[in-house]
Amino acid sequence: MRFRAAILERLNAPLVLDEIEVPALDCGQVLVQVHCSGICGAQLGEIAGVKGEDKFLPHLLGHEGGGVVLETGPGVTQVRKGNHVILHWRKGAGIQARTPKYKWDARFVNAGWVTTFNQVAVVSENRLTSIPEEIDFEIAALMGCAVTTALGLINNDAKLKIGQSLAVFGCGGVGLNIVQGGAMVSADPIIGIDIYDHKLQVASEFGATHLINSACVDVSDAVRKIVGSKGVDVAVETTGLVNIIETAYALTAPQGRTILVGVPRHNQDITIHSLPLHFGKVLKGVEGGQSNPTEDIPRYLNLYLKGKLRLDKLITHRFPLQEINTALERIKMGEVGRCMVSCQ
């Protein structure tokens, strides 16, 4: 079986769209028809080589999607043929299978436990969660990373309490859900910070009480006018830009938490005054909000179906798979909230 996929062949180059072959399924592997994929900042980082040398080139990309199970390999018990599923990068229940290799003419293409920039994917069982058929595949894709990371961050990393202040640096797909999560736990104030007014407008609709366009005003002054000289209880940084990380940390209260979602380039370091870390201040990076997809996704879907979790307005642009490189460029230009790619 051959199918179309977007392949990262070289760093800092457009993805290559071509046909590759599905390998035979091994223990714990599941063949999924990918209907829809989100694009996360992690993929932009992979293409740009943010973490340094990529030893697995060429390889497939994408870690949040929605699809249908076509076939299951030996030992699979969590899903079966015909199930609608969310594809996610965090581990859930089931077997951690070996990662697949796809044949690409005379070469092989590597892949992780889940990929979504492709029409069909061989996915590890523990990267799939079965969902009701009435859930739209676009909503399923959002659950693969943007929602679970953000709400997990609020609950598990930030441990945000009722009435505590929250500042979110960067109001993209994850940032907007962090704003929404903060509103759901009654944080106050909730400060949305971005350089694009259209993203700030959406942040206000998702629960931000104050908006700061950092391209127009001094962020430090603006935040301190809202919360006072002590700083915010929780500052969340989503861009991975070193100067913004340093600003977020400096604006965090002495007993507060600075939570890093964005990842700086491998050759860039941050400079901070570390003494407060010895007296209760926290600086930590996020790994998917410590979410457990098997447990968390059904709870979040319940909230969505009851209208308590707003997701539809997160999606601002849609592209077919053959226009994946255009989609990536639009995201880099800051024009997009959450972009969805139709893979069929």
pLDDT band of 232, cuts 50, 70, 90: very high
Q: Which tokens sit at 99?
A: 């990662």
Domain 2-144+311-342 sits in CATH at 3.90.180.10
**CATH 3.90.180.10 boundaries in the chain:** 2-144+311-342
Please check whether residue 226 is in contact with residue 209, taking contact to mean a CB–CB distance below 8 angstroms. Answer: no
- Over the stretch 6-64, which tens digit does the pLDDT of each residue have? 999 999 999 999 999 999 999 999 999 999 999 998 999 999 999 999 999 999 999 99
pLDDT band of 220, cuts 50, 70, 90: very high
Q: What is the mean pLDDT of the chain?
A: 96
pLDDT over 90 at 333, yes or no: no
Res 337: pLDDT? 79
Res 230: pLDDT? 95
Name the DSSP class of 132.
-
Res 120: pLDDT? 98
Lowest mean pLDDT among 167-181, 255-269, 327-341: 327-341
Q: Which tokens sit at 154?
A: 């609020």
* Other residues' Cβ atoms within 10 Å of the Cβ of residue 18: 15
Res 312: pLDDT? 85
β-strands 120-124, 29-38 pairing: antiparallel
- Over the stretch 69-82, which tens digit does the pLDDT of each residue have? 999 999 999 999 99
Please check whether residue 29 is in contact with residue 334, taking contact to mean a CB–CB distance below 8 angstroms. Answer: no
Q: Give pTM, 2 decimals.
A: 0.94
Q: Count of alpha carbons within 13 Å of 95, Cβ hemisphere only?
A: 18
- Picking from 40, 5, 10, 18, the residue whose alpha carbon sits closest to that of residue 327 is 40
pLDDT over 80 at 335, yes or no: no
The average pLDDT across 302-308 equals 96
Long-range contacts of 246-250 (CB under 8 A, 24+ apart): 246/270, 246/271, 246/272, 247/169, 247/219, 247/220, 248/167, 248/169, 249/283, 250/220
Q: What single-letter amino acid sits at 164? A: Q
Beta strands in the chain (DSSP E): 2-8, 16-21, 29-38, 59-60, 64-72, 84-88, 101-104, 107-110, 120-124, 128-131, 166-169, 190-194, 210-213, 232-237, 252-260, 282-285, 315-320, 338-342
Please check whether residue 123 is in contact with residue 28, taking contact to mean a CB–CB distance below 8 angstroms. Answer: no
Res 76: pLDDT? 98
Res 124: pLDDT? 98
The average pLDDT across 254-273 equals 95
Res 84: pLDDT? 98
Res 161: pLDDT? 97
- Over the stretch 123-145, which tens digit does the pLDDT of each residue have? 999 999 999 999 999 999 999 99
pLDDT over 90 at 259, yes or no: yes
Task: Region of 116 please: left (phi>0), alpha (psi -120 to 50) or beta.
Answer: alpha
Q: Who contacts 82 (Cβ-Cβ below 8 Å, separation ≥6)?
A: 68, 69
User: Could you report how far apart the first and last alpha carbons of the chain are, in Å?
Assistant: 15
- Over the stretch 161-215, which tens digit does the pLDDT of each residue have? 999 999 999 999 899 999 999 999 999 999 999 999 999 999 999 999 999 999 9
Res 311: pLDDT? 92
Separation of alpha carbons 315 and 151, rounded Å: 17
- Rounded to 5°, the CA angle 94-153-304 comes to 75
**CATH 3.40.50.720 boundaries in the chain:** 149-289
Res 17: pLDDT? 98
Separation of alpha carbons 264 and 238, rounded Å: 10
Separation of alpha carbons 318 and 29, rounded Å: 29
Architecture of the domain spanning 149-289? 3-Layer(aba) Sandwich (3.40)
CA distances from 334 to 79, 146, 221, 234, 338 (A): 37, 17, 24, 25, 11
- Over the stretch 144-165, which tens digit does the pLDDT of each residue have? 999 999 999 999 999 999 999 9
* Other residues' Cβ atoms within 10 Å of the Cβ of residue 137: 22
